[in-house]
Amino acid sequence: MGVAERKEREKQKRKELIIRAAEKVFFSQGFERSTMDDIAEEAELSKGTLYLYFKSKEDLHISVVHKVGSRLKASMMGIENLDEDAFEKLVSMGRATIEFANKFPDQMKSIMLLESFELQQTSYSTSQLKDVIFKDSPVGIVIRIVEQGVKEKLIRADIPAPLIAHTLWMQMLSVVRFVSTKSTLIKMLELTPVQVYESHFELVLNGIRS
């Protein structure tokens, strides 16, 4: 009798529904401004019900950001299989990230916020940790591209590939953060975001060249 299974599926559906409603509310009003009542109304459920599926507003927020993160990752999945060398792929991934940040600035900010916070407070087992890091974040892809680059003798082999990959990803996030938070400064320096990004690629790729 598949009743339990169906209920399980329905539960998951409700959860998704709530996440969708919360995403809508969070990104239209901002996290702080959004109340659980707003989200409940958007989801056409009562507030109490939200707490059956998420233990707190913060918990719901994390689910939303995870969802956004996996969307960014999805937008990059194609790049790994292109017929390009490692450097070209890394630049393509960078450009995809920039494009995402331009199209969905708030979503990008939330991803960066997640990357800054999550692991310090939550405690995962080692195996769960792998999932968390590699499921939503694009860093898993970057690692494989760096490994490809080491094989191609394009990227230096004296530093472990995963470390290079994480460094690249952090640096990518930091330049996106810079452009989005310091745009006034960039104008003041008589630069454009494009110049900042291009210099970033130039500096960073020069650093990892073998």
Positions that interact with a copy of itself (CB under 8 A) = 112-113, 115-120, 124, 126, 129-130, 133, 159-160, 162-164, 166-167, 170-171, 173-175, 177-178, 180-185, 188-189, 191, 195-196, 199-200, 202-209
Contact 17, 63 (CB under 8 A): no
180 binding partner (options a copy of itself, DNA, none; Cβ < 5 to 8 Å by kind): a copy of itself
Among a copy of itself, DNA, none, what does residue 134 contact (CB within 5–8 Å per kind)? Answer: none
Is there binding between residue 1 and DNA (CB under 7 A)? yes
The token duo for 6 is 């169906």
Pull the structure tokens for residue 148: 């490809």
Rounded distance, CA 69 to CA 67, Å?
A: 5
Nearer to DNA, 28 or 35 (CB): 35
User: Cβ closer to a copy of itself: 45 or 196?
Assistant: 196
Q: Does the protein bind DNA through residue 49 (CB under 7 A)?
A: yes
Residue 52 as a binder of DNA (CB under 7 A): the answer is: yes
Distance of CA 107 to the CA centre of its chain: 9
Which 8-state DSSP code applies to residue 1?
A: -
Contacted entry of a copy of itself, DNA, none for residue 194, CB cut-off 5 to 8 Å set by kind: none
Task: Pick from 9, 28, 30, 35 the residue near DNA by CB under 7 A.
Answer: 35
Our CB check for a copy of itself shows the closer of 92 and 167 to be 167
Look at residue 52 and give the partner it binds from a copy of itself, DNA, none, a contact being a CB closer than 5 to 8 Å depending on partner kind.
DNA
| Residue 155 interacts with, from DNA, a copy of itself, none (CB under 5-8 Å by kind) | none
Q: Are 87 and 205 in contact (CB under 8 A)?
A: yes
Give the whole-angstrom CA distance, residue 9 versus residue 129.
25
At 190, which helix (H) or strand (E)?
A: none
Helix (H, G, I), strand (E, B) or coil at 46: coil
* Among the listed residues 194, 193, 134, the one whose alpha carbon sits nearest the alpha carbon of residue 169: 134
Tokens at 120, concatenated? 């310090």
3 state DSSP class of 209 = strand
Among 28, 30, 37, 116, interactor with DNA by CB under 7 A? 37
Q: Which helix (H) or strand (E) holds 33?
A: none
Binding site for DNA (CB under 7 A): 1, 3, 6-7, 11, 14, 33-37, 45-49, 51-52, 56-58
